[in-house]
């Protein structure tokens, strides 16, 4: 996939190392989407698919309905729905979220640097991840669509710094 290739280029380059050293470092909590949509493992898959379609979103975070902390137990993506339905040759109305969700999703800490977040997503080959606080409670979701503009802004700052250093060296 093209986006994965771009991320692999960034994570494999010195640019990402410089982003980790840039000041100030943006954190995942700074750019996460706090209005995260959730569901439960026992909910009908058709209901979850309708909610995703109505909300124009590609994923729901799956929570245990008995967990007051609201720690993510899974993630349900549009891809999970398609693959789960095809693998089971079952009607969307006969499946539950828990039967097709991705268990043990990549979970990012809100205090994680953007470069660390990109590395974590790349390692698992995913585009989205729940964001949690220090207790493991759900605080939002982050996607590559959130990360790319923030990384571009940090790259612009880095380019400005390099340009000013180059102009300073040329003047000497």
Superfamily classification of domain 2-159: CBS-domain (3.10.580.10)
Q: What's the predicted TM-score (pTM) here?
A: 0.77
The pLDDT of residue 25 is above 80: no
Mean pLDDT value across residues 24-35: 89
Long-range contact set of residues 98-103: C-beta below 8 Å, sequence gap at least 24: 98/41, 98/42, 98/62, 98/74, 99/45, 100/45, 100/76, 101/41, 101/62, 101/74, 101/75, 101/76, 102/74, 102/75, 102/76, 102/77, 103/73, 103/74
Domain boundaries, the chain: 2-159
Residue pLDDT, tens place only, 111-140: 999 989 999 999 999 999 999 999 999 999
Residue 2 has pLDDT above 60, yes or no: no
Q: Is the pLDDT of residue 90 over 80?
A: yes
Residues above pLDDT 90, as percent of the chain? 62
pLDDT of residue 11: 45
Pick from 133, 142, 135, 30: nearest CA to 75 = 142
CA 74 to mean position of chain CA atoms: 13
């Amino acid at each position: 996939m093209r986006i994965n290739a771009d991320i692999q280029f960034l994570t494999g380059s010195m640019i990402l190392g410089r982003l980790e050293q840039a000041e100030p470092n943006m954190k995942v909590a700074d750019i996460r989407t706090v209005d995260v949509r959730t569901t439960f493992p026992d909910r009908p898959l058709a209901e979850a698919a309708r909610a995703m379609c109505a909300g124009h979103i590609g994923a729901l975070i799956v929570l245990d309905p008995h967990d007051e902390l609201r720690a993510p137990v899974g993630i349900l993506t549009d891809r999970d729905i398609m693959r789960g339905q095809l693998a089971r040759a079952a009607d969307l109305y006969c499946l539950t979220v828990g039967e097709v969700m991705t268990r043990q999703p990549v979970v990012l800490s809100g205090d994680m640097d953007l470069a660390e977040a990109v590395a974590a997503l790349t390692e698992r080959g995913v585009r989205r991840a729940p964001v949690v606080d220090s207790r493991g409670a759900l605080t939002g979701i982050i996607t590559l669509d959130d990360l790319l503009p923030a990384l571009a802004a940090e790259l612009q700052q880095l380019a400005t710094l390099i340009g000013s250093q180059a102009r300073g060296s040329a003047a000497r």
